[in-house]
């Protein structure tokens, strides 16, 4: 029985990682923000896995989708800077939601966790973009380093609102979806 549960978990992670990769390819820019910042719904399968099987399983889905994306699509810089950023942002978003939901098992705790995840993603990704991600992009693209003022401007005007908007949009999509899947999710959690 334990081996069967393990196989079901591995298959679920693999299947939902593939779906997350496909959803990652269906990205779109948000009006008013730079076109390289694109919203996608690839965190939804990772959230489902994290809720059913635990936060670590959600992190694995985030990792697999980004490895698939980099391996198949490649990267503008030749180095997976964007994919690493997407992985970190996805983990920051799904972990609070899955941990709060698994503890309290209510829609309220899920919504609170998603909003907390959106705030964590927004704030931490702003700091990481300032110190690591934007400098890495410019370095790997062979561009001159951005001044600290230009980086702050980019973060305040584009990256910070982008992450907040993405978190809110994914939350707005996920909560009603989860409400419809709730009975199925609780049954899967019981068997996981």
Confidence check: pLDDT of 22 > 80: yes
pLDDT for position 115:
97
Residue 135 has pLDDT above 80, yes or no: yes
pLDDT higher than threshold 90 for residue 145: no
Structural domains of the chain, with CATH: 2-191 (1.10.1760.20)
Structure confidence at residue 171 (pLDDT): 97
Per-residue confidence at 77, pLDDT binned at 50, 70, 90?
A: low
Give the predicted TM-score (pTM) of the model. Answer: 0.94
How far is residue 30's CA from residue 163's CA, in Å, rounded to a whole number?
Answer: 11
d(CA 59, CA 78): 24
Percent of the chain at pLDDT above 90?
A: 82
Is the pLDDT assigned to residue 110 strictly greater than 90? yes
* Average pLDDT of every residue of the chain: 94
User: Which residues 6+ apart lie within 8 Å of 121 measured at CB?
Assistant: 89, 92, 93, 163, 166, 167
pLDDT confidence of residue 74: 84
pLDDT at 17 over 70: yes
User: What residues contact 137, with CB distance under 8 A and at least 6 apart?
Assistant: 77, 81, 82, 143
């Amino acid at each position: 029985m334990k081996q069967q549960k393990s196989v079901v978990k591995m298959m679920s992670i693999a299947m939902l990682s593939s779906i997350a990769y496909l959803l990652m390819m269906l990205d779109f820019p948000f009006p008013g923000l730079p076109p390289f910042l694109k919203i996608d719904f690839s965190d939804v399968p990772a959230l489902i896995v994290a809720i059913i099987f635990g936060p670590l399983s959600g992190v694995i889905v985030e990792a697999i989708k980004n490895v698939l994306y980099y391996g198949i699509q490649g990267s503008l810089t030749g180095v997976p800077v964007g994919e690493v950023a997407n992985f970190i942002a996805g983990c920051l978003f799904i972990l609070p939601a899955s941990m709060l939901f698994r503890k309290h098992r209510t829609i309220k705790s899920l919504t609170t966790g998603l909003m907390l995840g959106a705030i964590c993603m927004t704030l931490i990704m702003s700091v990481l973009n300032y110190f690591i991600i934007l400098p890495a992009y410019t370095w790997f693209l062979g561009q001159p380093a951005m001044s600290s003022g230009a980086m702050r401007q980019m973060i305040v005007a584009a990256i910070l609102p982008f992450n907040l908007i993405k978190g809110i949009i994914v939350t707005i999509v996920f909560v009603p979806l989860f409400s419809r899947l709730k009975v199925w999710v609780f049954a899967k959690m019981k068997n996981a």
